[in-house]
Structure 1
Amino acid sequence: VEQNDADKLVARAARNIEQLLRKRSAALEKLATAAEVFQMEHVWKDEFEDAEIAYYNSKDNLDANETEGRKYRIRPDFKEDPSFKRLTDHNHTAVHIPTDIYDGSAIVLNELNWTEA
């Protein structure tokens, strides 16, 4: 049995946590700066072609071929994920947009356009 020095253990843990948080903070600042640049460079468009912006509409019935012929809709490839214990798609991310109100609106499509970067 080996004695532990509690003060040293706590100090080391605190240093490790501080270093981890410093790295995460720097990464977050870098992402925020890049997002601001992409947003400033984005040119607003009043109209989009159907196939110009692709997005996933969660109201689409994925069991039916409802997305056939709709090239602007992303059809996720959901697979069972043992970590999350549910169907997931690791190739796409999503944001909640009330599509019953905003489906295809210029505001939403412009936001999707610049955030796609």
Structure 2
Amino acid sequence: MKYYLLSVMQPVTDELPAPEVLAEIGRDLDVFHQELRQAGAWVFAGGLHGPESSTVLRPRADDVLITDGPYAEGKEMLGGICLIKAPDLDAALAWGRKAALATTLPIEVRPFMGEAED
């Protein structure tokens, strides 16, 4: 088994979907997370605040420079993550597909180095 990171790629915008749309996405995510748990693939999941809430720490000589916000601006941001266990990339991609359908957003699937702990 390997760990895979399912990254939710969210558009950078101040406009939120209608409350009923967000409620439906929330229900779909609950179903997806429950399915992960039942399959033994669940490790962790959570949403993130917007990039404006981040702090970046950069090494500078013998010190660390602390700045607000992300290093680069973009049209998408990391909106949430889900860490799963899967036997191979095909299985992880199948979970990623379900995550994309639940969130209605692009999902990046990326393997961790090494094997998952059992």
TMscore range, shorter length: under 0.3
Q: Give the structure with the higher percent strand.
A: 2
Q: Given the two structures, how large is their TM-score scaled by the length of structure 2?
A: 0.25
Higher relative contact order (CA 8 A, sep 6+): 2
Q: Give the structure with the higher percent helix.
A: 1
Greater Rg by CA? 1
Q: Given the two structures, how large is their TM-score scaled by the length of structure 1?
A: 0.25
